[in-house]
Structures are given as C-alpha cells and as structure tokens.
C-alpha cells in the first residue's frame, strides 16, 4: 500500500489536476490522506467530491484551526500517517501534476534499495522534476539542471543546501516512523529537508535521474524553482539578498543543531543493536552528527572560523554565486 499525504490550502485552481493525475497512476494500490488547512475557496469541496469517488481509498480532514503554513500542515499529516497500514509514503503538493508512472518508478527504486539494505533501513527515494508554468507549459525538462543542484546527497552538502523536493519523493515506513514526531518542531524548515537529513545520517537516499512530476510555478507558490544562472535572480541576490541570505543560513544552522540534539542518543542505540535497523556504520553516524552539531554552532564563531569549517568539511553549496555568497555573508 502506498499512502499519499496531501496538504491543501486555497488550491481550487489546480488541485483537481493533481487528483486526476493520482487517479491515472499505473499503480492503483494507493490511499490518499488529505488535510485541508481551512481553505476559504472550494478546495475542501473538491477533495470531498474526490473522496465520494474513492470511498475506500481517500480520507479528507479539515484542520480544526488553521496552521497557517504548509510545514505545520505536513507535520499533522505525518503524525496521522503513523496510523496507516501503508509501507510507503508520498508527500503531495496541491498545485503539481504527477506523471502516470510516478509511483511505479519510485517504488521500483525503493524495492531495490530495501533489497540491498533491508526493510528496517530508513530509505528516501527522490527524482528530478519538470519545471512548468501555471498552464503546465514546460520551462525546463530538468529542475536539477535549471536550479543547478547537486544530484548526490552527501550529508556535508545537504546540511547547508537541500536538494530533495517533497512532491517528488517516496519514503518508507521506517523513515516515517523515525521522524514523524519531530517534524512539527519549530526549527524544522520543511518535512522533506528533515527526512533527507535523517535518511542521510541513519539510512539511505537514492536519486532517479528522470522526472516524475510537473513542478508548477505560479505566483502563489510557497516554495518554487529558481533559475540558478538568471541575471535577474543574481542581481536581486546581491543587491537585496544579504538579509534574506543570513536569515536562511541561520535557519539551516538552527535546524542542524536541533537535529543533532534530537537524535544524538539514537546513534548509540543503533550501535548497541546492530543489524536491527539503520544500515549505517557507527563511525559514519558519529562523524555526521558531529558535522551537524558544529554547523549548528557556527553563529558563535568568527568569520575566519566559519570559512575554516566550510573548507575542512567541504560544506560548499553548488554554484559559483552560492559559494561567493557563503564567503561574503557567512
């Protein structure tokens, strides 16, 4: 069973296309849990109509009070998903469109990873995305090329720059159960980032170099694709971006610090009971947690100490402009 986790808010313009694309999946053994964050448009009614068509597969709930953001809505969804009997979970964004074989492709990759590392290993599979405009006209066939992102996900890269997009990923039950209670913490930036950190330290991540989603860009995106080599973007980054950059860097550091504090004891638990879960070596986990802890404490360091840390741990972002921003504004 595959469980789709959908967080919605005022998405009436696009959510039906997402639901249609879920309905058209080559894999039919799915369930959908949708949490609507008290939309003021017809989003909730659209979800309810879809539920009537798939009574045994769809659960629709309306939050008692609005969380006010996608991150907290997904935190509620992850905690609710613990009650599901599904083995695999796919976060969904209300404005995207899935390619028909999305679940199938991610599932095939997941099966290979679990065969290799075991079902008790936390595994995250993610793919490329097609960047599209509001009418699904293709902007770029590859989000990773468009945004100039790393395709591999070593922890020393992931700590400062997330390359996992939630709407293009699948996680197994072991990963969901490991992180569901912490995703709602204030310093967690987003569910996909937190899941990626956990899988990178305690489990495994695999990337599919093929798109599975139309990643729609429009004026209401809470997060979106940005073209890395856009002159307009670079101008804005270096003329107006210092304050925003420093804010974002502090957020990643706070998240890293929280992660290290949350799961420090888990390293020893895994080592004490080897082979039962979390297919990573003790040394690798210890070094990774040390990296996260030191990165989380960088705000207390001088600029020279920060740059020394980046150099020693290879914590450089992808792209010359991003590295320059690190050097100038760290």
Residues 289 and 165 in one domain: no
When pLDDT is cut at 50, 70 and 90, the band that residue 108 belongs to is very high
For 298-330, what is each residue's pLDDT tens digit?
999 999 999 999 999 999 888 888 888 888 887
Residues with Cβ within 8 Å of residue 13, at least 6 apart in sequence = 95
Residues 61 and 124 in one domain: yes
Q: 194 is in which domain, residue-wise?
A: 2-216
Residues 77 and 194 in one domain: yes
Residues 155 and 15 in one domain: yes
- What does DSSP assign to residue 83? T
- pTM for the whole structure: 0.91
Mean pLDDT in residue range 8-20: 97
Tell me: pLDDT of 231 over 50: no
Residues 287 and 169 in one domain: no
pLDDT at residue 271, as a whole number: 61
Residues 36 and 168 in one domain: yes
Tell me: pLDDT of 284 over 60: yes
Q: Closest Cα to residue 44, out of 118, 1, 94, 89?
A: 94
What's the structural domain count of the chain? 2
pLDDT at residue 44, as a whole number: 98
In angstroms, the CA 7 to CA 224 distance is 16
> Residue 243 in contact with residue 161, Cβ under 8 Å?
no
For 191-213, what is each residue's pLDDT tens digit?
999 999 999 999 999 999 999 99
- At 57, which CATH number? 3.90.550.10
Mean pLDDT in residue range 263-270: 84
> Residue 31 in contact with residue 2, Cβ under 8 Å?
yes
For 143-169, what is each residue's pLDDT tens digit?
999 999 989 889 999 999 999 999 999
């Amino acid at each position: 069973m595959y469980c789709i986790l959908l967080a919605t808010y005022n998405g009436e313009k696009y959510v039906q296309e997402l639901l249609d694309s879920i309905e058209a999946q080559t894999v039919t053994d799915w369930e959908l849990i949708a949490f609507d964050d008290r939309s003021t448009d017809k989003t909730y009614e659209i979800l309810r109509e879809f539920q009537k068509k798939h009574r045994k597969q769809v659960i629709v709930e309306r939050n008692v009070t609005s969380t006010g953001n996608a991150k907290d809505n997904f935190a509620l969804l992850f905690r609710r998903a613990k009650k599901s009997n599904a083995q695999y979970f796919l976060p969904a964004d209300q404005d995207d469109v899935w390619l028909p074989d999305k679940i199938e492709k991610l599932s095939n990759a997941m099966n290979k990873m679990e065969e290799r590392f075991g079902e008790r290993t936390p595994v995250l599979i993610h793919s490329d995305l097609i960047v599209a405009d509001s009418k699904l006209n293709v902007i770029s066939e590859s989000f990773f090329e468009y945004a100039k992102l790393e395709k591999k996900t070593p922890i020393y890269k992931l700590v400062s720059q997330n390359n996992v997009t939630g709407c293009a990923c699948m996680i197994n039950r072991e990963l969901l159960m490991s992180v569901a209670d912490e995703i709602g913490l204030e310093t967690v930036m987003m569910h996909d980032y937190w899941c990626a950190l956990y899988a990178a330290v305690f489990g495994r991540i695999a990337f599919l170099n093929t798109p599975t989603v139309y990643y729609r860009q429009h004026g209401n995106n809470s997060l979106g694709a940005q073209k890395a080599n856009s002159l307009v973007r670079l101008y804005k980054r270096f003329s107006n971006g210092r304050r925003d950059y420093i804010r974002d860097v502090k957020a990643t550091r706070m998240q890293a610090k929280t992660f290290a504090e949350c799961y420090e004891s888990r390293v020893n638990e895994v080592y004490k009971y080897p082979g039962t879960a979390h297919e990573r070596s003790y040394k690798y986990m210890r070094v990774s947690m040390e990296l996260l802890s030191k990165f989380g404490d960088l705000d207390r360091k001088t600029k020279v100490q920060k740059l020394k840390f980046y150099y020693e741990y290879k914590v450089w972002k992808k792209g010359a402009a991003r590295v320059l921003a690190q050097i100038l504004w760290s």
